[in-house]
């Protein structure tokens, strides 16, 4: 139930998300800073410009400040020097402080005080107090503090935005995979057109080494394609006439003509980018926890600032000292690192996953993957290849010369059949490089096999049932192994031999199951196949158990049964008949067939049906969660230590932080969080 609710909440949340953008990391800043229309690059440039202007004004402001002159034993004075100081500082306050002041206003309007409120409040207090000093109030101004504070805040935001841009860059890389132009073939001519103008049924030419410009079917030519950026699979994939190609994959050394299947916005890559965007925007429980913490920190900062001010005044310190302590506390407490702790990890993990063929549709499902105690595998196509392959060829008697001849005869009969067994025999014919013989006078032996004439000989390919019905003895060595299907070849009604086929287990399956065991996760097989086949696969892979002969509608019940026994259950299936079970499982992982990413009920979609990806997903989910927690611990822990220092708890020991030092520490804290998020890797 929880799963469905979350899906529903996610959609609700995305709508809210566009309205509020409160603490969602850098997005909050963009909105709050009053540049809603600017893109990321323009924002970074804007901060850089403001930083340099403030930097240029910093030297004269420092030289004109009494405090700095006193420290440096300098004396710079001329008539009206204080008014020049005031004028320069006003420029810094308004021009340099504008992003923070407008952000404060935006947060107040949204009734959602946060980062900008704190900085806006701190610089306004400092400016108002110092201005009062210039116009007659007794005391020391701290324009120089205000100036250095704004300077460092601008620098911090600039650096941090660049880090944030880094976290979102992976997504941009995905977008850039789509080539901007395509070679459109019309009749005998080829012209270059913009990719977005391609329509269904257009014919395009892909030259060697170029990127595929649109999803489509190969009409002419053959080549090997590198799809690693889309699926994470590094081995080149052979494409021949009639096969599907995905936009963004890189062509090898053959030229291809491709018939476009749909417009750009329906392409696989486009859907992936949308999916990644939505997943980065959707909030998970960890994000909500961080938001709550950031909101608390804002309240604590304002309260701590006011308490600090009151305490120092009541201890008899002057107004300037008390003001400076208050400003420092508020600045140091800015929950910036906290606001970014989770979104940065989210942005990076979602985009990285997409590049490795793991598509996260539901953030909470992904973060919860660390809790998985059992993975239920739907056998066909996940642990096994999902297609019959010849396991062994056995000759009986001396009717045929060798294995090749037996396979050749069977292949001739199966040439026109679509049956999985036929496909398996034909792929063996190709593998052995045999020439396909011609068969005629076909006749289907209902439910038992097929007969035809090949090179004037009567050939039958039949099931064990046919042998029994016709009083033929089963050969001794046809003792059928657990996961084998056997067909017999008769030549002129003499048994020539048999071919055993099996749905071969993928080479990666055993490793994947072993890695799950190392991580204390049970693996269970769920299949519609018979008891023998299920047991054979389960034993071979050293799995923890199996359910055999399970019909599609019973899969849901089996998942419920496992959940009743306790534990956190992940289910992998191909998304079609497994939809109810995927929705029931704590985490549904759909194994997509190539480019079908519309597996609605699953929280996570695997582009390849490789069982290793499931293991990678769980391990990456754990790593992602660890990074988030490290960031949250750092962002809150840093405040716990620095807040008392800023308030002046160790003043008598001679330890006191100035507002500028506070701002430096705040920036460092944010950058640490950004760098830590950048260290997240997906091991494959």
* pLDDT tens-digit series, residues 292-339: 777 788 888 888 889 999 999 999 888 878 888 888 888 787 777 777
pLDDT at 171: 67
Please state, in angstroms and rounded to a whole number, the distance separating the CA atoms of residues 558 and 451. 42
Residue partners of 72: CB distance under 8 A and separation at least 6: none
pLDDT at 620: 92
Please confirm, yes or no, whether 24 is among the known catalytic residues: no
Which position has the token pair 């508020």?
Answer: 330
The segment(s) of the chain belonging to CATH 3.40.50.1000 are 358-383+507-607
pLDDT band at 569 (very low <50, low <70, confident <90, very high): very high
Please state, in angstroms and rounded to a whole number, the distance separating the CA atoms of residues 305 and 310. 9
449-454, strands of its sheet edge to edge: 384-395, 494-505, 484-491, 457-462, 449-454, 439-445
pLDDT at 227: 78
The segment(s) of the chain belonging to CATH 3.40.1110.10 are 385-505
CATH top-level class of 385-505: alpha beta
Count helices and strands in the chain by DSSP H and E runs: 23, 22
- Of the given ranges (212-216, 233-237, 569-573), which has the lowest mean pLDDT? 233-237
**What secondary structure does DSSP assign to 644-670, as a single string?**
HHHHTTTGGGT----HHHHHHHHHHHH
The segment(s) of the chain belonging to CATH 2.70.150.10 are 181-266
| Residue 186: other Cβ atoms inside 10 A | 10
The CATH label, of 2.60.40.1240, 3.40.50.620, 2.40.128.630, 2.70.150.10, for the domain at 181-266 is: 2.70.150.10
pLDDT at 27: 37
- The model's pLDDT over 42-90, given as tens digits with 9 standing for 90+, comes to 888 888 899 999 999 988 888 887 767 776 777 777 887 888 888 999 9
- The model's pLDDT over 535-557, given as tens digits with 9 standing for 90+, comes to 888 898 999 999 988 877 788 88
Tokens of 322: 């008390």
- The model's pLDDT over 251-268, given as tens digits with 9 standing for 90+, comes to 888 888 899 888 877 877
Please state, in angstroms and rounded to a whole number, the distance separating the CA atoms of residues 209 and 660. 54
Tokens of 178: 């789509």
Q: Residue 566: pLDDT above 80?
A: yes
pLDDT at 447: 67
Residue partners of 503: CB distance under 8 A and separation at least 6: 380, 384, 385, 386, 387, 388, 389, 483, 533
The yes/no answer on whether domain 358-383+507-607 falls in CATH 3.30.230.10 is no
Which of 24, 202, 281, 378 is an active site residue? Answer: 378
Query: Three-state SS for 497?
Result: strand
pLDDT at 567: 87
pLDDT at 482: 61
**Average pLDDT over the chain, rounded to an integer:** 80
Say if CB 333 and CB 663 are below 8 A apart.
Answer: no
pLDDT at 444: 80
């Amino acid at each position: 139930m929880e799963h469905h609710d979350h899906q529903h909440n996610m959609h609700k949340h995305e709508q809210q998300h566009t309205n509020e953008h409160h603490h969602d990391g850098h997005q909050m800043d963009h909105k709050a800073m009053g540049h809603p229309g600017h893109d990321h690059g323009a924002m970074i440039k804007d901060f850089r410009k403001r930083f340099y202007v403030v930097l240029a004004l910093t030297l004269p402001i420092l030289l004109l400040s009494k405090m700095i002159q006193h420290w440096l034993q300098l004396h710079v004075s001329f008539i009206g020097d204080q008014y020049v100081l005031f004028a320069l500082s006003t420029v810094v306050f308004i021009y340099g402080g504008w992003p923070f002041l407008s952000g404060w206003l935006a947060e107040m309007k949204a009734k959602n005080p946060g980062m900008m409120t704190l900085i806006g409040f701190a610089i306004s207090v400092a400016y108002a107090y110092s201005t009062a000093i210039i116009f007659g109030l007794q005391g020391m101004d701290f324009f120089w503090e205000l100036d250095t504070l704004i300077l460092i805040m601008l620098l911090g935001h600039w650096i941090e935005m660049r880090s944030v841009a880094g976290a979102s860059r992976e997504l941009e890389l995905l977008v850039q995979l789509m080539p901007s132009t395509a070679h459109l073939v019309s009749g005998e001519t080829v012209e270059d057109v913009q990719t977005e103008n391609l329509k269904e049924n257009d014919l395009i030419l892909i030259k060697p080494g170029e990127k595929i410009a649109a999803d489509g079917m190969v009409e002419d030519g053959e080549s090997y394609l590198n799809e690693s950026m889309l699926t994470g699979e590094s081995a080149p994939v052979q494409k021949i006439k009639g096969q599907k190609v995905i936009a963004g994959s890189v062509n090898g050394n053959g030229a291809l003509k491709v018939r476009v299947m749909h417009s750009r916005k329906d392409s696989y890559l486009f859907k992936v980018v949308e999916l990644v965007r939505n997943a980065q925007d959707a909030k998970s429980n960890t994000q909500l926890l961080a938001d709550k913490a950031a909101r608390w920190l804002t309240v604590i900062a304002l309260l701590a600032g006011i308490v600090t001010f009151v305490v120092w005044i009541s201890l008899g310190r002057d107004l300037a000292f008390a003001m400076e302590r208050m400003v420092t506390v508020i600045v140091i407490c800015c929950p910036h690192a906290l606001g970014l702790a989770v979104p940065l990890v989210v942005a990076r993990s979602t985009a990285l996953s997409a590049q490795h063929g793991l598509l996260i549709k539901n953030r909470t499902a992904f973060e919860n993957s660390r809790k998985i105690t059992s993975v239920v595998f739907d056998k066909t196509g996940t642990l096994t290849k999902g297609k019959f392959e010849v396991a062994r060829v056995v000759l009986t008697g001396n009717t045929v010369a060798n294995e090749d001849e037996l396979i050749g005869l069977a292949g001739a009969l199966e040439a026109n059949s679509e049956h999985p067994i036929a496909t398996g025999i034909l792929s063996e014919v190709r593998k052995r490089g045999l020439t396909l013989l011609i068969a005629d006078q076909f006749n289907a032996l209902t439910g038992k096999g097929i007969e035809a004439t090949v090179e004037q000989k009567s050939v039958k390919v039949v099931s064990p049932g046919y042998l029994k019905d016709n009083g033929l003895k089963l050969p001794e060595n046809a003792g059928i192994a657990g996961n084998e299907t056997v067909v017999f070849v008769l030549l002129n009604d003499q048994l020539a031999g048999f071919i055993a086929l099996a749905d071969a287990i993928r080479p990666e399956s055993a490793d994947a199951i072993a890695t799950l065991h190392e991580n204390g996760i049970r693996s269970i097989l769920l299949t519609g196949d018979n008891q023998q086949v299920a047991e054979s696969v389960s034993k071979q892979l050293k799995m923890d158990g199996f359910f055999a002969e399970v019909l599609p509608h019973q899969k849901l019940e089996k998942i419920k049964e496992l959940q009743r026994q306790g534990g956190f259950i992940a289910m992998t299936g191909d998304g079609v008949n497994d939809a109810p079970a995927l929705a029931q499982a704590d985490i549904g992982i759909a194994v997509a067939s190539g480019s079908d990413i519309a597996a609605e009920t699953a929280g996570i979609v695997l582009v390849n049906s490789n069982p290793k990806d499931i293991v990678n997903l769980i391990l990456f989910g754990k790593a992602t969660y660890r990074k988030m927690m490290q960031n949250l611990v750092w962002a809150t822990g840093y405040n716990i230590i620095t807040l008392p220092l800023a308030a002046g708890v160790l003043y008598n020991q001679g330890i006191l932080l100035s507002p500028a030092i506070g701002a430096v520490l705040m920036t460092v804290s944010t950058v640490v969080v950004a760098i830590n998020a950048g260290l997240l890797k997906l091991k494959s």
